[in-house]
Structure formats: C-alpha cells, structure tokens
Amino acid sequence: MHETIQKTTMVIEDPLAHLPVSSIGEFRKGSTIYGPESPPSSLYVVLAGKVKICRAAHDGQQVVLDVYQTDEFFGESSLVGGGANEMAVSLENARVMSWSATEIREIVLKRPDLGYALLQLAVQRSLEFGNRIESFSLDNIERRLIAALLHFASKLGTSSDDGGREMIAFTHELLSQYVGTSREIVTHYMNYFRRKGCLNYSRKSIVVFEDALRNLVALELSSKAA
C-alpha cells in the first residue's frame, strides 16, 4: 500500500528536458561506439536505433547489461571515469547525441534539476541491476529467460494485432549473453516457449505473449507445490 502511494507521488524527471543540443554521431549496425579498450568519456542519448551495452570478458565472451533505444541514456559510467571492459555496440543503424563528462558536470552545476534527473536515472538503473542480481541468485535459466523476454517485450516492443508484444528479433546469442547461459540452451527454451504458444519468432521479429509466458511460470510453480 505504502509503496503505491509513494510511487504515484514520486515525480521522475526527464534529463533530456534540461540538456542543450550537442554533437551527433552516426553508427552503422554492428559498430562499436566505445570500448572495451577505450571506456566512455561521454554521456550519450539514443536518437534513433538500438544500442547494446555489454562487458567484454578476457576470453572474448560478452555479458549484455541492457539494450537502450530512442531517448534512453548510456555511457553514464563516463561520469566516474568509465566502466572496466564496458562496450557499446549499435544493434541497428543508430544516431546518438553525446556530452563529455566535463560538460555534464558544468551543466549540472548551472542546472541542478538536470543533476537530480540524472541521479534518478542512475538510481533506477541500479535498481534494475539489483533485480537482475536477485534473478541470478534465485531463478533457474528458464525463469531468467522468461524474465529477459518480458523485460525486452515491455521495454522495446509494440502491441501486435494478435495480442502480443512485437519486438526486434534478438539473436539467441544476445539473449544467452543477457541470461548468462549458452546459445544452445536459449534455443532449446525458445522452441519450447513457441510450442507452448508463448511466443512466435521469425528473422524479422519476436512476438511475446506476455500473459501466456507468465502463466507458464505460475503453472510450473503450482505443479511443484502439488
């Protein structure tokens, strides 16, 4: 109850409302925007396209932290000197606007409402990462993959005619790098979810039927409890 009251009265500010126009960069699909050898020195916002933020491990493996789209920020680690091994890669042709960490500091000192808006954004992001840590600790791979599909469908998808959420066709490899498992295991579960009517996918898009996917987890829980 308490939480609901707080959430409705809490104003989440939009940093974009407080930022001046800055330089624009264009990146073809698959281009590296920064990293892993050169960590970000700027804060970016996506103007068009989608950008994957990941960590590059020493043996060439990648861990996907998230995927950001139009009006979302990335590269905030530049404000503390850059995250180790962090990479930003465009998943589609992308346009981004950027401000150097020094510029951001100067603008924040003149426009404190930008500082507060960016602070809320950074806190929100660490809450989402906290959810991931919770899921890694408690959930098996199937449930982590379901959580990933629901996350991306809600965030990146649009309502489709058949009552699902249609979104960009992520590769099974990208999903495996988000969930922390192998591509083969993701393919196994994606086929299973499709057979159960929880999703459809083609080369072009994935359609996620959110309720069916949630029910799948609930059914498994109740069959275990029975």
Phi, psi (5° rounding) for residue 203?
Answer: -65, -25
Q: Which of 25, 32, 116, 168 binds a copy of itself (CB under 8 A)?
A: 116
Strand blocks (E) in the chain = 23-27, 32-34, 42-48, 51-56, 62-68, 73-74, 86-90, 94-100, 158-159, 165-168, 199-201, 205-208
User: What is the rounded CA–CA span in Å between residue 103 and residue 181?
Assistant: 39
Binding mask 161-190 for a copy of itself (x = CB under 8 A): ----------------x--x----------
Rank residues 141 and 200 by Cβ distance to a copy of itself and give the closer one: 141
Rank residues 107 and 205 by Cβ distance to a copy of itself and give the closer one: 107
Cis ω on the peptide bond leading into residue 112 (within 30° of 0)? no
Candidates 59-67, 155-163, 187-195, 196-204: pick the segment binding a copy of itself (CB under 8 A): 59-67
Does position 28 bind a copy of itself by CB under 8 A?
Answer: no
Does position 204 bind a copy of itself by CB under 8 A?
Answer: no
User: What is the rounded CA–CA span in Å between residue 145 and residue 149?
Assistant: 6
Q: Say whether 18 sits in a helix, a strand or coil.
A: helix
Does position 70 bind a copy of itself by CB under 8 A?
Answer: no
Give, for 4, the enclosing helix (H) or strand (E): helix 2-9
CB of 191 to a copy of itself, least distance (A): 22
Phi, psi (5° rounding) for residue 13?
Answer: -85, 155
Does position 129 bind a copy of itself by CB under 8 A?
Answer: yes
Candidates 126-134, 152-160, 190-198, 202-210: pick the segment binding a copy of itself (CB under 8 A): 126-134
Does position 218 bind a copy of itself by CB under 8 A?
Answer: no
Outline where 80-166 has alpha helix (H). 101-110, 112-138, 141-156
Listed residue (193, 220, 221) closest to 209, CA to CA? 193
Does position 83 bind a copy of itself by CB under 8 A?
Answer: yes
Does position 48 bind a copy of itself by CB under 8 A?
Answer: no
> Which residues contact a copy of itself by CB under 8 A?
2-3, 6-7, 10, 12, 37-39, 41, 55, 57, 61, 63, 65, 76-77, 79-84, 86, 101, 105, 108-113, 115-116, 118-120, 122-127, 129-130, 132-134, 136-138, 177, 180
